[in-house]
Copies of this chain bind each other. A is one copy, B any other.
Amino acid sequence: MRTYLECIPCFVRQGLDALREVCTDEAEIDRILKQVLSVIAGVDRQQTPPEMSRAIHGLIRHELGNVDPYHEIKQCSTRQALEVMPEVRRRIERSDKPFDTAVRFALAGNILDFALASLYQSDQLDTTLARAETQPLDEAMVTQLQHAVDQAQTILWLADNAGETVFDRLLIEQLTDKRFIYAVKAAPIINDATLSDAQAAGVHEVADIIDNGTDAPGTVLKLCSPGFRDIFQNADLVIAKGQANFETLNEVDREIYFLTQIKCVVMARHYGYRIGDWVVTTTTAIASRMQSNQPEVAHDPG
């Protein structure tokens, strides 16, 4: 998905959010935010939104002397998720349909998204977990995912955010006869999970953790390491979490399962979803949805 004009105000807000996290000097924030505006003004909008985010947050980290603005937020998310983990695991294990329930909690965990930091509410995780088992979901797609998992030996899991990793782990641990490769970012970008975030969630107990060789949000294949791309091409099944993976991979030429909440109006309009929808879909399903629906892509003045 390319960058839409409606993404621009959001990039500015995201940049400001990141600066606010670690900087209290208003003049310094002002100085760096002006550079962010210049970067955005110069951008090629054929890039995906995550590529754009990478440029913006790379600049911010550089200007802040390589401080990671999301370091504490990520640790806090993981702590919050680990606290509820035993209870969530019980709910999965007691469920009549443990796979379905585990998918639902993996989707619930996607609420831990601090790319939208200034819009995040501290009780959001609790309220999201509370409705995980009743949230409308395309059950046929969940069943299709379960069959795909059944038939796969090696499953590549593309992680999204720190903390969400805990809920990913709870799904993965249900599937003990599969080999899971859990791919994280090679370096900090927004609140995306890196190796240490995945380890803090205990993912290493249930999967092999690798990094994808880049600090771009989502999975920008051309920026990933050759080793990662090889695993990506050859895995029996690829499961990708979160919007940024959807945005960067939905037109890629291999079947991928996407698990994400819909958080942004541009993506909702573009793919015919509503904000807040929980989505299980595939590259194939998205392509056929786009072909049959032809939704109005950009601006809907109503």
Interface residues in chain A, defined as those with a beta carbon under 8 Å from any beta carbon in chain B: 5-6, 8-10, 12-13, 16, 20-21, 26, 29-30, 33-34, 37-38, 40-42, 45, 122, 298-299, 301-302
Contacts and interface: CB of A to CB of B under 8 A. Distances in A.
A45 B16 CA distance: 15
B20 A13 contact: no
B5 A30 contact: yes
Nearest to A43: B34
A42 B5 CA distance: 21
Contacts of A122: 302
Contacts of A9: 9-10, 12-13, 16
A16 B5 contact: yes
A5 B21 contact: no
Given A12-B12, A37-B41, 8 more contacts: A5-B16, A5-B26, A6-B16, A8-B16, A20-B299, A26-B298, A30-B45, A38-B38
Most B CB contacts (10 A, CB to CB) among A13, A45, A302 go to: A13
15 contacts: A5-B29, A5-B30, A6-B16, A8-B12, A8-B33, A9-B9, A9-B12, A9-B16, A12-B12, A20-B299, A20-B301, A34-B41, A37-B37, A38-B38, A38-B41
A181 to B, nearest CB: 36
